[in-house]
Structure 1
Amino acid sequence: MKSIVFFNNKGGVGKTTFTFHLGYALERAGNKVLFVDLDPQCNLTAHICDEETIDKAWSEKGDSVYKAVEPIIKGAGDVKLIEPYKVENRNIWIFIGDLLLSDFEGELSNAWTQILAGQERGFRVTSAIYRIIQEFASKNDIDYILIDVAPNLGSLNRAVLLGCDNFVIPMIPDLFSLRGSQNLGRVFADWIRNYYTSKQRIGVSKLQFDTPNGTPKFSGYILQQFNVYRSRKTKAYERWSSQIPDYINEYVIGPLNATDLKILDLVLTIPDYKVADFKNYHGLVPMAQTSLKPIFELTSRDGVIGDHTRYVNDCRREFEQIANNIQSIIK
């Protein structure tokens, strides 16, 4: 069982679309996949669930992620275990997102102060979502947990990062995406260092509940949404994409490999740090969203005609390869 978070401090890099397609590709390869939508915008949920399912999950007796942490937010107890939604006839589940999840940010911010002070409640609150995920994934032999988060460095994303096994940075080859990666390593290293030190100080044996190790591995980046002209990336995109490895090395790997963090082994070494390329499929993305299925499973019934068929087949081959790469890199 491996949990992977896809994160960039810059929005609009296609992380939700990629996460969705990767999950379905991994399932087609014979894996059990659990999606977790922890972005209050709920775009991953909208990719997978129809409005009736979402409305039910958001109802008073629903089972969205917010409902799981609502007792903590209201001061009424610990996290409530919930069941994720299962996609019909697939080995795919999703913990449904909720716009109200942003209400949990304040509790997590207070919990971080308590962690630094060595107080048990801080660890209990911070580990709440981690415990929900682990409970279900362990009982159901989940192979991959794919977590979608918002593009910010807030307290919710801090709790998610510390509770994952691996994180991957989606990027598009432009100035803004590169800029968005510049503070990731420094901030992540600071979070990991403080959590690890605090956990050592309080002693794991004193905590009567599961807590994450807090040692996520950087597992590469994904180059997304690049345009192709006559089978080659456009020159403007080539210019920015060629700079990504240096940025990753300086601003992500450098801070995570700081001397005092070496013992934690926070970087997964792969050539050039690139996990995959994901092309821009333009009009097929909204078609896939409407059909609640990945591009590579679209058919003529979904509106695929003419050249679209070739793109659907290209996407299928592309994600078969990406799924293979992920399985070989993240074991």
Structure 2
Amino acid sequence: MITLTFFNHKGGVGKTTLTINVAEALADQGLRVLMIDADPQCNLTAFYLREKDLDELLGESDDEDAGSTIWSAIKPVVDGKGAIKHVDAISVRKNLWLCPGDVLLADYEEELPAAWTGSFARKSRDYDVMCALSKAARGMGEHYQADVVIYDIGPNVGPLNRAVLLDSDYFCTPVAADLFSLRALTTVGRAVSRWINDWKTVRGLANDADRQQLLHGHPVYLGYATSAYKVSSGRTSTKPHEYWEGKIAPRVKSRVVDALRAIDPLLAPFPGSKLASIKDFHSLAPQAQEYGLAIGDLRGHVNSGYNAQIKEAAAEFTGLATTIRKRMGI
């Protein structure tokens, strides 16, 4: 079982869209995929659930008996009252499951800074809190015999995302073709490198038995995907996407790849960091959310005039999923 995260602390770069469409493409290829909504905003969960069902789910999530979100699973550990609770994932379709998110993950995030500090002091309680989300996600993955567990996370470099990244076997960076995404790459490289180095210290201080239970802290960088680019827009007289592509690639190398390789060359093993360019499919994205479908599966649900774009979307996400799969070695 492999864990994968799409991570960039800048919002609006298509993390959830990529999570959904790559997960669906991997499932189409026969892999068993579990999506974990680890974003307190619950955008991934809201994509697949009707508003009424989502309200009921979140309304019961703090109930020890009825709760069935990712928060329900880790709450006993965070509260110091027991072990991880098993919750059932939602079957989206063949080969694809969703563990629902929860706004109360914000409560877990509040506990993580103290648990991070306590982990340096080798406190078992703080180890448990730091690893709670990982144990819940991986336990659920084993239950459903998942080949891939994909985390969906929010746009920040906070303690919750730190715990997720340190549990990830691999991560990718979605990048928009603009100045703000370019600047955000510096933060991604710095943050992940610092987290890895600090957690290496935690693991080095732990005894052998505890070390076996801790987050492995070795997220391998697969590369970046430019998302939602427009074929012809912007003030640049020639092709604006190519203009930003020319700036993004060297920035990824200098601020992400080189930073990770300085710790361990195996953290960024791929000489070519670009995974794909996913174009802007305009109104198809909100229509996909309306139907709870991948963009490439909208044929027959929307106006037939969109069929060419739907086919193109299916091909692009399938290509991205295939590249990710090859780089992960599955």
TM-score, normalised to structure 2's length? 0.92
Q: Is the 8 A contact 1:8 1:181 kept in 2?
A: yes
What whole-Å deviation, never above 9, does each CA across 1:293-312 have from its counterpart, x for those lacking one? 11111133x22232x11111
Task: Name the structure 2 match of 1:221.
Answer: 224
Listed one character per residue, the Cα deviations across residues 98-128 of structure 1 (whole Å, up to 9, x for unaligned) are 1121111111111000112222222211110
Q: Which residue of 2 aligns with 1:136?
A: 140
**1:19 matched to 2:24:** no
Which letter does structure 2 place at the counterpart of 1:305? S
Say yes or no: does 1:256 pair with 2:257.
no
Equivalent in 122, 125, 134 of residue 129 of structure 2: 125
Q: Which amino acid aligns with 1:189?
A: S
Secondary structure of the 2:168 match is coil
Q: Deviations over 1:153-192 (max 9, x none)?
A: 1110010000010010000110000111112222211111
| Structure 1 segments unaligned to the other structure (5+ residues) | none
In 1: Cα distance, 2:101 partner to 2:48 partner? 11
> Contact 2:220–2:266 at 8 Å: present in 1 too?
yes
Aligned sequence identity (%)? 34
Q: 2:164 aligns with which of 149, 160, 165?
A: 160
Cα deviation for residue 229 of structure 1 reads 4.1
Cα distance change of structure 1 residues 206 and 286 upon mapping to structure 2, 3 Å threshold? closer
Question: For 2:271 and 2:287, how far apart are their aligned partners in 1?
Answer: 34
RMSD over aligned Cα, in angstroms? 1.9
- Partners of 1:329 and 1:206 lie apart in 2 by 30
Q: Report the Cα offset of residue 313 of structure 1.
A: 1.0
**Are the structure 2 counterparts of residues 203 and 252 from structure 1 closer, same or farther at C-alpha, using a change threshold of 3 Å?**
same
Partner Cα distance (2:85, 2:313) in 1 = 39
Separation in 1, partners of 2:80, 2:104: 16
> Could you say which residue in structure 2 is the equivalent of 1:36?
36
1:171-210 → structure 2 map (5 Å cutoff): 171-206=175-210, 210=213
- Partner of 1:281: helix, strand, or coil? coil
1:86 corresponds to 2:91 = yes
In structure 1, give the amino acid aligned to 2:303: V
- Give the match for residue 286 of structure 2: 286
1:172–1:224 CA contact under 8 A, matched in 2: yes
Aligned to 2:112: 108
Residues paired across the two proteins, number: 321
Q: What residue in structure 2 maps to residue 269 of structure 1? A: 270
Instruction: Measure, in 2, the Cα distance between the counterparts of 1:119 and 1:77.
Output: 17
Aligned mates of 2:206, 2:75 — CA distance in 1: 27
Give the Cα–Cα distance (whole angstroms) in 2 for the partners of residues 183 and 137 of structure 1.
30
Give, in angstroms, the shift of residue 52 of structure 1. 4.2
Amino acid at match of 1:116: F
CA distance in 2, matches of 1:2, 1:144: 5
- Bigger drift between 279-288 and 319-328 goes to 319-328
Shift of 1:321: 1.7
Q: Deviations over 1:237-257 (max 9, x none)?
A: 221111111111111122212
Q: Measure, in 1, the Cα distance between the counterparts of 2:77 and 2:47.
A: 28
Q: Comparing 136-145 with 11-20, which one deviates more in the overlay?
A: 136-145
Paired amino acid for 2:15 = K
Question: Which amino acid is the alignment partner of residue 302 of structure 2?
Answer: G
Q: Which residue of 1 aligns with 2:73?
A: 68
C-alpha distance in structure 2 between counterparts of 1:317 and 1:104, whole Å: 38
Q: Secondary structure at the match of 2:186?
A: coil
The answer for unaligned runs of 5 or more in structure 2 is none
| 2:12 aligned partner, one-letter code | G
What is the identity, as a one-letter code, of the residue corresponding to 1:223? T
SS of the equivalent of 2:223 reads: strand
Distance 1:184 1:9 in 2: 7
Q: In the alignment, which residue of structure 1 is the partner of 2:316?
A: 318
Change (3 A) 1:189 1:282: same
Does the residue aligned with 2:226 lie in a helix, a strand or coil? strand
- CA displacement at 1:286 relative to structure 2: 0.6
The list of structure 1 runs, each at least 4 consecutive aligned residues, that deviate by more than 3 angstroms after superposition, is: 72-75
Give the Cα separation in 1 of the matches to 2:43 and 2:271: 30
Opposite residue 287 of structure 2, the aligned amino acid is M
1: CA distance between counterparts of 2:190 and 2:82?
34
